[in-house]
Chain A
Amino acid sequence: GESVGLHLPTLSVQEGDNSIINCAYSNSASDYFIWYKQESGKGPQFIIDIRSNMDKRQGQRVTVLLNKTVKHLSLQIAATQPGDSAVYFCAPRGSGTYKYIFGTGTRLKVLA
């Protein structure tokens, strides 16, 4: 079956530093990927997405990199702020399917 793994369950970063959250996926047919942020007590919230025909996409303070060869995604957050503290999920979608497979999540802790 499909699986999504994360290299680090918890990441602690000093405020102002850059954060990198990694995600490995298993389905090579995945054609679309979303990163979500989930703050404590809330539902997941869209951060940024990327299609499989791209290898990089930038948003405001966030960049997603996609390496289809090794089936790996990363989310980079520049100048990490206390408000970035949350659990981050990557969610690949299989081509032609309705389903997103969520990873187990990485908890990002921002240290003052």
Chain B
Amino acid sequence: DTAVSQTPKYLVTQMGNDKSIKCEQNLGHDTMYWYKQDSKKFLKIMFSYNNKELIINETVPNRFSPKSPDKAHLNLHINSLELGDSAVYFCASSQGPLTQETQYFGPGTRLLVL
């Protein structure tokens, strides 16, 4: 059983398009995250939701908008895609935001903007 799943796994699109990435976790966790990993493997947090409430919102262009319809899902919508958005996007979840719990990561979505 997949704990944290993301769709799609690969996404190739043109500059200026709008795209969404979906994430679901079946671990019963309260907190979910989006990370961006660049070509040098640098992993940086973008957003975090706890029980559908936004708790982390890093300095990310407002073209990126997360949406959490319920605590098992956290989707990421990106408007007006730019070349620099090309990266691997990871979703993760944890039991809670302040508990000393590990985060479980999804397999990643590889986004390539042409």
Contacts and interface: CB of A to CB of B under 8 A. Distances in A.
Interface of A: 31-32, 34, 38, 41-46, 49, 51, 87, 89, 93, 96, 98-100, 102, 104-105
Query: Mostly helix, strand, loop or mixed at chain A's interface?
Result: strand
Interface of B: 4, 31, 35, 40-45, 48, 50, 55-56, 90, 92, 97-98, 100, 102-108
Contacts of B48: 98-99
Contact of A96 (B43, B98, B105, B107): B98
Contacts of B104: 46
Nearest to B48: A98
Contact of B56 (A49, A96, A99, A104): A99
Contact of B41 (A46, A87, A96): A87
B44 A102 contact: yes
B33 to A, nearest CB: 9
Contact of A100 (B42, B90, B98, B103): B103
Given A87-B41, A102-B43, A45 B100 contact: no
Contact of B90 (A41, A44, A93, A98): A44
